[in-house]
């Protein structure tokens, strides 16, 4: 509830630049006379209910009438804005001067963070509580500073829609601990924060109709709410709460993205006078990261993780590598709206290779209380080498894989291992939170190479050929040094005529393990027996009469022999991928799925056993070829630590990106038909 308001006549008002989505297309379009009339009408509506003070406008500062953004007044202190947008910065000087002359203490907010006054800092009437908008204009750090400076409880609310760029465009606190607001302007956690402070009967969610007409941008006076618009539903609710909605059309100001509240700065906050110990959930930590931050795009990726995670940052140090072979270093202060958010953001940053800078601490360990269930805030692993600090020493985790937890054995020689949640035993110690965890910085989020073949012009065809030649060269080298190549393949390999080429690779010693599902083996054996794949004659490309039964007959026959190896030994299967695997002792694992026919006796239908079989075969791999199998390839990717060369081939660019973009340098994605790829690869390996 305001009793004194500061207004600024719109003598020099206009839309002169674009700094929010409302201004777009409106430069030079305001009508001076109508704007002045609307403003006068607003002043008249206010004057009976509050004391109005006036600051003279300055020429060249068209947004100065939006006094709410000038700063925040609390007790005898004026905290001036630090505008994010340069166009509005010159306004501050005029407001500072005005408040100085009236004997208020002008206290600049410490730090560097931007702060746009009451636009993003709304006092709950009658309480020492400040709702702090951030995410578009005001920084989260500013709210942390405000809490300290003013001794006030600050609840940060993140704005996620640029049209609601200030908190006062979508949120309005009312006396009696009530609020009305537009929920779609906030992220989920902010809505939870509102709900935690305001019981359901004291809050009202307005619809888009209200929000887009600046209904929330209201001035709350004794018994009245002055606003540009109020729908029937909102008006009814306001009346039920004892406020008369007073509608003042302010269309001229909406052209610049402001309405009633924007045009008035509250000069006192009766009832919010008692200073409290500042309580704010906002937390911060400093992290350091070193590496190819610029050319790999890692720096951008890290900063994005902070803002997308609902946090804010300040780069304290940035030392770019000045030569191609020199690493860059950054020290970044991460600010988050709550301790929980901070942990979540830090976990992501640590997973990307950053380290918490200050006072190194041991990892926090919690014992497993229930078999196969991790403590709630377990740290989850990535594919990157991970160290855990145990009694002052960094210990490298073994069995690195994604989506595992870190189990610590606290013996004289502490040990750390990655373990799946389902395998946890009661009493085992698990790393929780992000303290004392670091990962090896070998990340390069944009280093992923992808080559389009079917998708673009002929020049990219040549690029795919070159990429295949390079892969063939690598495969030859792996084979020469006795290394391990694992192939993950789907039945598409067979349908597209790639079967004989893959069989050839197995026969020539280029495949040390084969991973797939029932479909791969079923259609491969179908082809070996009938020359068809899913009933299509692969030589002629024609449907064979009754051919859809062929794969069932193949499965049936293998079942009759008791398994693939037995069927090969008996001479029932005489060619194909599976045949060559059996003949050359190349181990394979076939994982079952809901859509399997049969299945073949070799197909492992116990999911956990199938995952274990895959993991065993991946161990020690130098290279993995993922051939047109989204399901199995994703499974394999999660089990594979960074450092293993991955080649992903799929017709769908989205699948290739998903599979190959592991944030590490060793992936190559190829968007092409897998049959063509295998054809080219086989030819390149012959050559």
Annotated active-site positions, please? 166, 262
Closest to ligand NAD by CB, 47 or 607? 607
Q: Closest by alpha carbon to 289, among 246, 328, 241?
A: 328
CA-CA distance, 591 to 434, in Å (whole number)?
35
CA-CA distance, 410 to 413, in Å (whole number)?
7
Which tokens sit at 218? 């209201």
Closest to ligand NAD by CB, 67 or 490? 490
CA-CA distance, 631 to 614, in Å (whole number)?
13
Instruction: Yes or no: say if 427 and 668 are a contact pair by the CB < 8 Å rule.
Output: no
Closest to ligand NAD by CB, 37 or 606? 606
Nearest approach in angstroms of CB 622 to ligand NAD is: 23
Give the residue at shortest CB distance from ligand NAD: 517
Closest to ligand NAD by CB, 148 or 461? 461
CA-CA distance, 589 to 514, in Å (whole number)?
7
Q: Closest by alpha carbon to 315, among 112, 503, 486?
A: 112
Closest to ligand NAD by CB, 402 or 525? 525
Nearest approach in angstroms of CB 658 to ligand NAD is: 9
Nearest approach in angstroms of CB 536 to ligand NAD is: 13
Instruction: Yes or no: say if 352 and 301 are a contact pair by the CB < 8 Å rule.
Output: yes
Instruction: Yes or no: say if 371 and 401 are a contact pair by the CB < 8 Å rule.
Output: no
Closest to ligand NAD by CB, 598 or 663? 598
Nearest approach in angstroms of CB 454 to ligand NAD is: 8
Which tokens sit at 59? 């020429």
E strands within 556-666? 588-591, 623-627, 645-650
Nearest approach in angstroms of CB 217 to ligand NAD is: 49
Q: Please name the residue ranges forming H helices in 309-406.
A: 339-351
| Residue 187 CA: distances (Å) to CA of 160, 184, 294, 308, 312 | 6, 8, 30, 10, 14
What phi and psi, each to the nearest 5 degrees, are found at residue 188? Answer: -60, -45
Closest to ligand NAD by CB, 79 or 676? 676
Instruction: Yes or no: say if 611 and 635 are a contact pair by the CB < 8 Å rule.
Output: yes
Please name the residue that has the structure tokens 């990717």.
Answer: 637
10 Å CB burial of residue 16 (0-12, 13-18, 19+) is middle
Closest to ligand NAD by CB, 13 or 677? 677
Nearest approach in angstroms of CB 140 to ligand NAD is: 40
CA-CA distance, 397 to 230, in Å (whole number)?
60
Nearest approach in angstroms of CB 613 to ligand NAD is: 13
Cis peptide before 668 (omega within 30 of 0): no
CA dihedral (48, 50, 53, 54) positive or negative: negative
| Residue 176 CA: distances (Å) to CA of 188, 230, 241, 242 | 24, 20, 9, 10
Nearest approach in angstroms of CB 655 to ligand NAD is: 4
Nearest approach in angstroms of CB 599 to ligand NAD is: 7
Q: Closest by alpha carbon to 135, among 161, 170, 111, 153?
A: 161
Closest to ligand NAD by CB, 195 or 454? 454
Instruction: Yes or no: say if 537 and 616 are a contact pair by the CB < 8 Å rule.
Output: no
Nearest approach in angstroms of CB 593 to ligand NAD is: 3
Q: Closest by alpha carbon to 74, among 223, 265, 216, 219?
A: 265
DSSP-derived secondary structure letter, 661: -
Closest to ligand NAD by CB, 171 or 614? 614
Q: Would you tell me which residues interact with ligand NAD (CB under 6 A)?
A: 490-492, 496, 517-520, 522, 551, 593, 595-597, 628-632, 650-652, 655, 673-674
User: How many CA atoms lie less than 13 Å away from 20 in the CB half-sphere?
Assistant: 20
Q: Closest by alpha carbon to 43, among 6, 69, 2?
A: 6
DSSP-derived secondary structure letter, 109: P
CA-CA distance, 68 to 6, in Å (whole number)?
8
């Amino acid at each position: 509830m305001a009793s004194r308001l500061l207004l600024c006549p719109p003598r020099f008002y206009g839309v002169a630049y674009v700094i929010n989505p409302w201004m777009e297309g409106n430069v030079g379009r305001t009508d001076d006379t109508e704007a002045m009339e609307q403003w006068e009408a607003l002043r008249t509506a206010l004057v009976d209910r509050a004391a109005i003070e006036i600051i003279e406008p300055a020429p060249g500062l068209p947004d100065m009438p939006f006094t709410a953004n000038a700063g925040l007044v609390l007790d005898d202190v004026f905290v001036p804005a630090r505008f994010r947008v340069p166009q509005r910065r010159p306004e501050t000087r005029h407001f500072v001067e005005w408040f100085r002359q009236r004997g208020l203490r002008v206290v600049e907010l410490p730090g560097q963070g931007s702060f746009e006054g009451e636009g993003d800092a709304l006092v709950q009437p009658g309480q020492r509580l400040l709702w702090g908008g951030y995410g578009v204009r005001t920084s989260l750090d500013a709210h942390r500073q405000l809490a300290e400076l003013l001794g006030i409880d600050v609840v940060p609310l993140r704005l996620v829609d640029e049209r609601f760029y200030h908190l006062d465009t979508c949120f309005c606190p009312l006396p009696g601990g009530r609020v009305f607001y537009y929920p779609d302007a906030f992220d989920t956690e902010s809505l939870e924060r509102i709900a935690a402070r305001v019981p359901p009967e004291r809050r009202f969610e307005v619809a888009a109709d209200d929000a887009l007409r600046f209904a929330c941008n209201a001035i709350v006076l004794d018994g009245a709410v002055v606003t540009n618009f109020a729908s029937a539903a909102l008006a009814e609710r306001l009346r039920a709460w004892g406020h008369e909605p007073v509608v003042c059309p302010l269309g001229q100001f909406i052209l610049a993205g402001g309405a009633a509240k924007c045009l008035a700065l509250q000069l006192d906050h009766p009832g919010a006078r008692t200073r409290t110990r500042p309580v704010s959930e906002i937390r911060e930590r400093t992290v350091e990261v070193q590496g190819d931050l610029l050319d790999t795009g890692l720096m951008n990726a890290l900063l994005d993780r902070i803002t997308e995670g609902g946090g804010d940052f300040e780069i304290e140090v940035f030392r770019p590598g000045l030569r191609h072979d020199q690493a860059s270093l950054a020290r970044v202060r991460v600010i988050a709206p709550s301790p929980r958010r901070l942990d979540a953001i830090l976990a992501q940053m640590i997973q990307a290779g950053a380290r918490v800078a200050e006072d190194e601490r041991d990892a926090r360990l919690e014992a497993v209380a229930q078999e196969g269930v991790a403590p709630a805030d377990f740290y989850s692993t990535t594919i990157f080498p991970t160290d855990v600090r145990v009694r002052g020493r960094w210990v490298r985790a073994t069995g690195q894989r994604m989506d595992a937890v870190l189990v610590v054995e606290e013996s004289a020689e502490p040990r750390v291992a990655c373990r799946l949640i389902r395998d946890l035993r009661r009493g085992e110690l698990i790393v929780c939170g992000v303290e004392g965890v670091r990962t090896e910085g070998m990340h390069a989020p944009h280093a992923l190479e992808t080559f389009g073949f079917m998708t673009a012009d002929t020049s990219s065809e040549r690029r795919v050929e070159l990429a295949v030649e390079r892969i063939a060269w690598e495969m030859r080298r792996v084979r020469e040094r006795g290394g391990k190549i694992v192939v993950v393949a789907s039945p598409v390999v067979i349908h597209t005529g790639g079967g004989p080429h893959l069989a050839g690779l197995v026969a020539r010693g280029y495949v040390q393990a084969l991973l797939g599902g029932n479909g791969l083996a079923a259609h491969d054996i179908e082809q070996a027996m009938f020359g068809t794949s899913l009933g299509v004659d692969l030589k002629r490309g024609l449907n064979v009469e009754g051919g859809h039964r062929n794969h069932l007959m193949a499965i049936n026959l293998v079942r009759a022999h008791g398994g693939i190896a037995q069927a090969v030994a008996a001479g029932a299967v005489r060619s194909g991928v599976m045949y060559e695997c059996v003949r050359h002792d190349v181990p394979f694992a076939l994982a079952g799925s809901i859509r399997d026919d049969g299945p073949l006796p070799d197909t492992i239908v116990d999911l956990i056993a199938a995952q274990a079989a895959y993991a065993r075969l991946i161990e020690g791999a130098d290279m993995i070829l993922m051939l047109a199998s989204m399901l199995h390839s994703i499974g394999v990717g999660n089990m594979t630590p960074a450092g293993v060369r991955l080649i992903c081939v799929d017709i769908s660019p989205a699948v290739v990106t998903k599979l190959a973009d592991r944030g590490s340098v060793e992936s190559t994605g190829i968007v092409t038909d897998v049959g063509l790829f295998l054809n080219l690869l086989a030819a390149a390996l012959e050559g």
